[in-house]
Amino acid sequence: MITVNVSSLKNNPSEALRFARDDMVLVMNRDKPDALMVGVNQTGMLDMPGVRAALATALFKEGALSLARSARLAQMVLADFIAHVSRLGIPVISQTAAEVEQDMDTLDQWLAS
């Protein structure tokens, strides 16, 4: 196990992430354990059935990943991922009424030209 302190984590987070690929990293805050970092590839967790899709779905729902990146993480074709999140009631596109109206106006102008 590798130990880093919070200040070194703030200054160089990539170093702790590199360590976490090979071993667990314990983050210390004022001489007290604060967090434990474990690389997802180290645990084999991403290879378990359904984990990639669940993680990609959660990250997409929170807005942390785009639709295309979420589909890639889930190892799904984009159309299949769209169907997957739609079945779960997660909107693929979230727009305000004003944005939809503007898109429709743009479409009307394009069709008229």
Mean pLDDT in order along the chain per 10 residues (113 residues):
84 86 88 87 80 94 94 96 95 88 93 92
Token look-up 């359904």 returns 50
The predicted structure's pLDDT at residue 78:
96
How far is residue 14's CA from residue 105's CA, in Å, rounded to a whole number?
46
The predicted structure's pLDDT at residue 46:
80
Q: CATH topology for 2-43?
A: YefM-like fold (3.40.1620)
Q: What are the domain boundaries of the chain? A: 2-43, 48-113
Contact between 50 and 31 (Cβ < 8 Å)? no
* Residue 30, C-beta contacts closer than 8 angstroms, at least 6 positions apart: 6
Enter the pTM of the model: 0.67
How far is residue 105's CA from residue 111's CA, in Å, rounded to a whole number?
10
Backbone region of residue 12 per phi and psi (left: phi > 0; alpha: psi in -120 to 50; beta: other values): beta
According to DSSP, the residues that pair with 35 across neighbouring strands are 27
